[in-house]
Amino acid sequence: MKTFVIANWKCNPTTQEGAGRLFTALAGGLSNFGVKAEVVVCPPFVYLPKLVDFLSVRARSQLKLGAQDLFWENKGAYTGEVSAAMLKDLGCKYVIVGHSERRQHFGETDEMVNKKIKAAISTKLIPILCVGESAPQRESGKMGKVLKTQIFAAFKNISSSKFQDSRPVLAYEPLWAIGSGKACSPDEAMGAAIFLRKCLGQLYGRSASEKTSICYGGSVNSKNAADYITQARLQGLLVGGASLDSKEFIKIVRRVVE
Ligand code: PGA
């Protein structure tokens, strides 16, 4: 299984030139990171075509593209939305679904997350499903309940036979660790991952659960990155802030593959 290193640029940078510069630096610095990692860049929608063009003339680049969100209908009167079909046609391989910032700021519910997972899978986009608890939920002992509810709701009425070409990737992202500089300890991340795997086992059986990659996200940097892979035995990282600094992100990838 390859180790994922996923860059979530969120709503950054503010210019095409900035996006091009960042991507060029990443592609240059990661031209030979080997076959051990699957490095995925998820920029804002508007930069995707430019990055697709960039990759098309860099045949050797191993970077993959993902979107940060998708809409569940393929087309129609849905002003402002971007569909799975459009992302697939553009050349995306991955799509982030249910990031906590979408749940918090844009009212995304578990039902919407479920529709988005279904849309991604039926279009053969690989969903990167984000789940995680808030600080008050953790402190009041509700972490397990929150994670289980999110997982069961996200995969409601989806049979594992649908995963053949697009097995979902899970990202454990505790809300209190995102953008806070207070990363979750490798032990805590490992505990959460074991619990998530158990939930997947209940839904899909042990073998399907074991085939699923579980990543960690929340204040990942080049100093803590390797701990989640070697100590916590996770299958990847979802990197926000640190992915906007090409040197730091390249270091993270190197720590993970070395
Ligand atoms: P962060 O964000 O690395 O800036 O904490 C992670 C994420 O939200 O995916």
The full 3-state SS of the chain, as one line of letters, equals CCEEEEEECCCCCCCHHHHHHHHHHHHHHCCCCCCCEEEEEECCHHHHHHHHHHHHCCCCCCCEEEECCCECCCCCCCCCCCEHHHHHHHCCCEEEECCHHHHHHCCCCHHHHHHHHHHHHHCCCEEEEEECCCHHHHHCCCHHHHHHHHHHHHCCCCCHHHHCCCCCEEEECCHHHCCCCCCCCHHHHHHHHHHHHHHHHHHHCHHHHHCCCEEEECCCCCCCHHHHHHCCCCCEEEECHHHHCHHHHHHHHHHHHC
Q: Average pLDDT in the 110-128 region?
A: 97
pLDDT digits (tens, 9 = 90+) for 154-184: 999 999 988 988 999 999 999 999 999 999 9
Q: Write down the pLDDT at residue 257.
A: 87
Ligand 1 nearest atom to the CA of residue 178, by list position? 5
Cβ 2 vs Cβ 37: under 8 Å: yes
Residue 217 predicted with pLDDT over 90: yes
Nearest CA to ligand 1 atom 2: 240
For the chain, the C-alpha Rg in angstroms (whole number) is 17
Q: Which of 173, 228, 245 to mutate to test the pocket of ligand 1 (most atoms within 8 A of CB)?
A: 173
Nearest CA to ligand 1 atom 1: 240
pLDDT digits (tens, 9 = 90+) for 177-213: 999 999 999 999 999 999 999 999 999 999 999 999 9
Q: How far is the CA of 76 from the centre of ligand 1 (A)?
A: 32
Q: Average pLDDT in the 98-119 region?
A: 98
Q: Which residues pair with 40 in a beta bridge?
A: 6, 64
Nearest CA to ligand 1 atom 6: 240
Give the phi and the psi of residue 215 in degrees, each rounded to 5.
-105, 165
Q: How far is the CA of 161 from the centre of ligand 1 (A)?
A: 31
Q: How far is the CA of 249 from the centre of ligand 1 (A)?
A: 12
Q: Average pLDDT in the 57-78 region?
A: 92
| pLDDT band per the 50, 70, 90 thresholds, residue 59 | low
| pLDDT band per the 50, 70, 90 thresholds, residue 69 | very high
**Residues 198, 181: Cα–Cα separation, whole Å:** 29
Average of per-residue pLDDT values in the chain: 95
Q: How far is the CA of 116 from the centre of ligand 1 (A)?
A: 21
Q: Write down the pLDDT at residue 258.
A: 81
Q: 178: Cβ below 6 Å to ligand 1? A: yes
Residue 20 predicted with pLDDT over 80: yes
Residue 35 predicted with pLDDT over 80: no
